């Protein structure tokens, strides 16, 4: 496996000496599990309109359409498994001193892979909450019904961040704090198109971190990283973890 991919020595050296590693992940890390990304040629936004399906206005004007779509995505997420990239990140967490993942993904695959310190920048599609009062909603969502909040009667929605909405305040604060204090930052499988998440690598670099990007393709934020591995994360991450273990053993 090691022969398939050359990883520069400097990456492993820096990782071995890092005391605080922060990871930002995007849809690409789940691609090898069978969850579609958003902006790749076969991605979700090539086929669907984000304003209709992932915005407050979209939900207001056609909640049933939005619910049907989220239920479909839930079924996909339920039916897939964490991939070798997710598993390698969970292992990395176990062998380094301080580690956190900030994910834009709503699929909980990092948690299912065993990662402990995962914070969700865009919420998740497993949970639901009230549109009006934010009260969590635990009942199953039945097909063709629009659930109502038991506390205030408001409409129930998936617990995700839609276009135009703020990110969960505390999670964003933690992300900005960790990005500016870490000494090694890894950006994985994100196009870097959606802010504020896409601003985290730059924040890390400005504050002195070494930044590595792992992506199947070049992105708009590739250049601000000191190192890039242009390969699928499910291939690159296990190799990195193996090399790191060999070095520190």
To ligand OAD, the closest distance from the beta carbon of 150 in angstroms equals 27
- Which uninterrupted H or E stretch holds 93? helix 84-95
Candidate residues 12, 31, 109, 182; the one interacting with ligand OAD per rule CB under 6 A: 31
Q: Confirm or reject binding of residue 187 to ligand OAD (CB under 6 A).
A: no
Task: Please check whether residue 58 is in contact with residue 165, taking contact to mean a CB–CB distance below 8 angstroms.
Answer: no
From ligand OAD, Zn ion, none, interface partner of 216 (C-beta below 5 to 8 A by class): ligand OAD
Residue 38 binding: pick among Zn ion, ligand OAD, none (C-beta 5-8 Å cut-off by kind): ligand OAD
Catalytic-residue membership of 122? yes
Neighbours of 207 (CB within 10 A): 13
CA distance 54 to 12: 39
Q: Looking at the DSSP assignment, which residues form a beta bridge with residue 229?
A: 214
CA-only gyration radius of the chain, Å: 19
228 binds ligand OAD (CB under 6 A): no
149 binds Zn ion (CB under 5 A): yes
Instruction: Give, as ranges, the residues between 35 and 74 that touch Zn ion (CB under 5 A).
Output: none
- Give the count of alpha carbons within 13 A of 83, CB side only: 19
Binding site for ligand OAD (CB under 6 A): 26-28, 31-32, 37-40, 43, 50, 54, 104, 122, 161, 189-191, 193-194, 215-217, 219, 232-234
């Amino acid at each position: 496996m090691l022969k398939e991919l050359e990883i520069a020595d400097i990456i492993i050296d820096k990782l071995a000496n890092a005391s605080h590693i922060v990871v930002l992940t995007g849809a690409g890390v789940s691609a090898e599990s069978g969850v579609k990304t958003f902006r790749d040629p076969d991605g979700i936004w090539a086929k669907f309109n984000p304003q209709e399906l992932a915005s407050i206005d979209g939900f207001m004007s056609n909640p049933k359409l939005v619910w049907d779509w989220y239920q479909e995505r839930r079924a996909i997420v339920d039916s897939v498994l964490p991939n070798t990239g997710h598993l390698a990140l969970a292992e990395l967490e176990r062998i380094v001193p301080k580690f956190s993942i900030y994910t834009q993904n709503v699929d909980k695959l990092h948690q299912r892979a065993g990662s402990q310190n995962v914070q969700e920048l865009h919420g998740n599609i497993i949970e639901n909450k009230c549109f009006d009062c934010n009260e969590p909603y635990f009942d199953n969502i039945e097909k063709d019904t629009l659930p109502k909040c038991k506390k205030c009667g408001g409409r129930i929605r998936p617990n995700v961040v839609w276009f135009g909405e703020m990110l969960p305040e505390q999670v964003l604060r933690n992300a900005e704090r960790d990005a500016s204090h870490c000494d090694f930052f890894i950006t994985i499988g994100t196009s870097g198109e959606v802010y504020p998440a896409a601003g985290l690598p730059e924040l890390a670099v400005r504050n002195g971190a070494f930044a590595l990007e792992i992506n199947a393709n070049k992105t708009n934020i590739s250049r601000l990283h000191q190192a890039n591995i242009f390969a699928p994360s499910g291939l690159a991450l296990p190799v990195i973890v193996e090399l790191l273990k060999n070095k520190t053993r």
